[in-house]
Amino acid sequence: MPDKNEKDRRKSLLHAQREEQRQTVREGLPIPAAMMKALFKHIDMRLSSSECDNSLRYAKEFIRANGLPEEALVVWLKNAGGYCDCEAIFNAEETLEEAIPGYRDLPPPSGIRE
């Protein structure tokens, strides 16, 4: 059984690894976090009145309406487990919630189109 110093060392390494992963997520965002939040809000609103059709239909709708980099965003969403609109909400947004302190409290960006 590891002693206290070894447990502390392992805990510190794990913490550093998790923080590095969070930093990688933050640095890899193709658009600002507040705009990502607006994207997820749009998807969530659209899915509240219809079912997911196993595509990124509502994500792409928002991306195109706001002139965002579609290819970069779709790649990011898929890499974060968002292969369709509902997975984008459940997986990709969760990735941001874990990586960005205060994500839930971010104000919406101005000038977005729903």
Give 55-100 pLDDT, tens digit per residue.
999 999 999 999 999 999 999 999 999 999 999 999 999 999 999 9
CA distances (Å), origin 87, targets 6, 16, 78, 81, 110: 39, 28, 9, 6, 26
- Percent of the chain past pLDDT 70, that is, above it, reads 100
Give the pLDDT of residue 2. 78
The structure's pTM equals: 0.85
* Confidence band for 19, pLDDT divided at 50, 70 and 90: confident
pLDDT at position 44 is 96
What would the DSSP string read from start to end of 28-47? Answer: T-SS-HHHHHHHHHHHHHHH
pLDDT of residue 52: 96
